[in-house]
Amino acid sequence: MSSITDSPISKLEEDFLNIEKYSKSLSKFIQLSDTPITIGLQGEWGTGKTSLMSLILEEFNSEENQKTIATSWVNTWEYSMFKNARETTPSVLKGMLEKLKDSCKERDVWTIQDDVKSAYHKAGKFLSGIANQVIANQTGVNVKDAADGTKNESIIVAEIAEIKELISGLIKDLINDKKNPVEKVVFFVDDLDRIPPTDAVEVLESLKNIFDIPNCVFILAIDYDIVVKGLEGKFGPKTKENEREFRSFFDKIIQVPFTMPVGAYDITSFLKEKLKKLSVDIEDEKVSLVTKIVGYTVGNNPRSLKRYLNTFSLINQIIEDDDENDKDNENIILLFAVLGIQISYPKIFRILTQNANFLFWDKEFGNKIGIDLDKAKEDLKKVGESELTDEAWEQVIWGFCQTDPFLKVKCISILELLNFLREITKDEIGKKWEENSLHDQLSSVLEFAAITNVDDDLATKQAVSKVGSRTYYEGIDGYILENKESSNYSKEHEAVLIAIDKKLREIYADKISSENILIDYSKTGGLVLNWKKKSGGKFFQIRFGKTDSFIDAEKKHFLQCYIYKSSKDYQHPEILSLFPAQSMHSKWMFYCVIRDLNDFEILLNSKLIDKGIEANDQKIKYLHPSNLEKTSELKPYFKEDIEKVLNQGIKF
């Protein structure tokens, strides 16, 4: 599976956030409570209100409860489409009755007659009449006469008392029928936060007049912030002075408020299950790192998390299919963090695209983004410095965050996240870690993260276009110049790389002129030779490199070379001194080191580049015998191959 649907859970077995305990408690409370009562499940968009209501409904659908508790579920958003608030309210009320009837029929507890004289029929006809009269008043065309089919204004006018009496009578008939075991009716009203705030308030004001019908429980999924926005036309913008009026409106409707317990969600279990569904290969011990990053970025909002994971899954797949990219678990964690920054803190992502090495952000960079570092330091003295603001780069970020109300609140989380990224790269690289190491890794993941970036800032678009799609150069000089700040760069290998580029152009001049061989130079790929097509045609690649931290050998700089396999045995005797090994990022290529032009002559004399062209042309792929393909799976074989050569006494 490559994506997660943005659907609320409907069954207990789908509850990976561990909210079952809340649904059980609420359902018991509802069963034991006096009526009428209105319960408000309060939380911002995507916090799991619908999922919690679904689990409560599942409790009421159990054999134990399904006969005694009748239910009705309406999505107000569905009834509001192409309607204004005055049309929506009667549509919602009619929908509540229709859903009640459907639910009761499913449970075989609907005992009300459906003839024209029944309470159900009268209520439905009356509510339809009100909705149609609203349209008539707006358009001048009476779509359908209300109530008894006449155009008498006194009947058409919607009287709240009459609506209430009709619905109350219907509920009373249902519960008082001796043939019926129903004792309570529970109405679930969902999606109020998906309709315009002013409409949501008007719907609530109308619905509150029926919330005191005996034997009824109303469960509303509601976002207090939406109510506030909808009331601003009535009370003005919310302030300390008028806050009581906003709260009073809410309290008059809701007798029992329940705030969604997002802080108590089992996010680790949720992430494990979703990452497994997405086939993302992250070891269990690394999931705790992912959980930490979630805490620093999107938080525990399930819907935001699903969006986050779907974005991550897409980019992860692009990296998986990109043979020029070295993919490992550490880069995956870094990619996940950068995507979190992009989604949660787009302004921070924006400045990262301008200069990925945030550890080197100083006064000069601060000036570039409009931050006076000296002033930031003075302001910090007033509020009190901490270990999160004792370095120049941290002070630049702190100053930047003070310019935006949202970032100001989230400043500590942002600083903790960036410090966390420094620590996890240190843990991976170990003693050889240097500040440029983080720059190299961040640059590689920013290239992919920017693919899903949404930003209308012109400067960012220019920065992202530079980072977000691979940058190609006219020649080897462009690649060298762009990588001089990389920790893989080595001055002594510049001349070797230039000479190799020249030599290959001479050897394959005819094939290059006939466009059978296509050459490209990119920031992350280096010099790449492709056979007949750029996508999927790579048979040779060379770029700056150094000894991997997990290899037990002397740490040196060299040129990393990758060649298309022409046989299953890629450890050919004639090139053992080049330390041939299974490529970690392409299962049909092998890796070797080029330290000087003598090494390159050994490779040329082996004819393995030419044999690689032949195998590529014939579309033969000699995969690793293990048939594994992910970087994390191939990594042990790469290490094993290097150790085999070292054990034969060949010096690195």
Report pLDDT digits (tens) over 215-253.
889 999 888 888 888 888 888 888 888 888 888 888 888
Q: Residue 466 pLDDT more than 50?
A: no
How far, in Å, CA of 327 to CA of 319, rounded?
A: 7
Residue 463's pLDDT band (cuts 50, 70, 90): very low
Q: Residue 152 pLDDT more than 50?
A: no
Q: Residue 612 pLDDT more than 50?
A: yes
Q: Which pair of structure tokens corresponds to residue 105?
A: 């029929």
Most confident of 89-98, 245-254, 397-406: 397-406
Q: Which three-class secondary structure string do you get for 160-193? A: HHHHHHHHHHHHHHHHHCCCCCCCEEEEEEECHH
SS3 484: coil
How far is the CA of 307 from the CAs of 225, 298, 351, 543, 616, in angstroms? 22, 10, 23, 36, 39
Q: Which pair of structure tokens corresponds to residue 70?
A: 């009748």
Most confident of 1-10, 190-199, 459-468, 555-564: 555-564
Residue 5's pLDDT band (cuts 50, 70, 90): low
One-letter amino acid at 503 equals K
Sorted by sequence, the CB contacts under 8 Å of residue 132 that are 6+ apart come out as 142, 143, 144, 145, 146
Query: Residue 150's pLDDT is what?
Result: 44
Q: What residues does each domain of the chain span?
A: 265-468, 474-647
How far, in Å, CA of 130 to CA of 145, rounded?
A: 9
Q: Residue 154 pLDDT more than 80?
A: no
Q: Residue 115 pLDDT more than 60?
A: no
Strand ranges (E), 78-193: 184-190
Q: What percent of the chain has pLDDT over 70?
A: 81
Residue of 587, 540, 582 whose CA lies nearest to 564: 540
Sorted by sequence, the CB contacts under 8 Å of residue 505 that are 6+ apart come out as 512, 519
Neighbours of 510 (CB within 10 A): 9
Mean pLDDT of 395-420: 94
Q: Residue 327 pLDDT more than 60?
A: no
Residue 276's pLDDT band (cuts 50, 70, 90): confident
Query: Residue 453's pLDDT is what?
Result: 67
Residue 135's pLDDT band (cuts 50, 70, 90): very low
HSE of 258 in the Cβ direction (CA atoms, 13 Å)? 22
Query: Residue 575's pLDDT is what?
Result: 94
Residue 434's pLDDT band (cuts 50, 70, 90): low
Q: Which pair of structure tokens corresponds to residue 344?
A: 């949660």
Q: Residue 151 pLDDT more than 50?
A: no
Mean pLDDT of 1-15: 59
Query: Residue 146's pLDDT is what?
Result: 40
Q: What is the dihedral of CA 119, 122, 128, 133, to 10 degrees?
A: -140
How far, in Å, CA of 95 to CA of 124, rounded?
A: 9
**Average pLDDT of the chain to the nearest whole number:** 80
Query: Residue 13's pLDDT is what?
Result: 60
Is 45 within 8 Å of 222 (Cβ atoms)?
Answer: no
Residue of 266, 337, 272 whose CA lies nearest to 298: 337
Residue 465's pLDDT band (cuts 50, 70, 90): very low
Q: What percent of the chain has pLDDT over 90?
A: 24
DSSP state of 544: E
Query: Residue 326's pLDDT is what?
Result: 52
Q: Which of these ranges, 183-187, 201-205, 637-641, has the smallest mean pLDDT?
A: 201-205
Residue 316's pLDDT band (cuts 50, 70, 90): confident
Query: Residue 183's pLDDT is what?
Result: 87
Pairing type for strands 517-522 and 526-531 reads antiparallel
Helix or strand (DSSP H, E) at 576: none
Q: Residue 497 pLDDT more than 90?
A: yes
How far, in Å, CA of 455 to CA of 345, rounded?
A: 11
Q: Residue 120 pLDDT more than 50?
A: yes
Is 49 within 8 Å of 233 (Cβ atoms)?
Answer: no
Q: Residue 117 pLDDT more than 60?
A: no
Mean pLDDT of 13-32: 82
DSSP state of 16: -
How far, in Å, CA of 486 to CA of 479, rounded?
A: 11
pLDDT digits (tens, 9 = 90+) for 539-567: 999 999 998 877 877 889 999 999 999 99
Sorted by sequence, the CB contacts under 8 Å of residue 636 that are 6+ apart come out as none
Tell the residue number behind the tokens 């990296």, with chain if given.
319
pLDDT digits (tens, 9 = 90+) for 339-375: 899 889 999 998 888 888 888 899 988 998 999 999 9
How far is the CA of 468 from the CAs of 452, 453, 494, 512, 515, in angstroms? 9, 9, 26, 29, 28
Residue 149's pLDDT band (cuts 50, 70, 90): very low
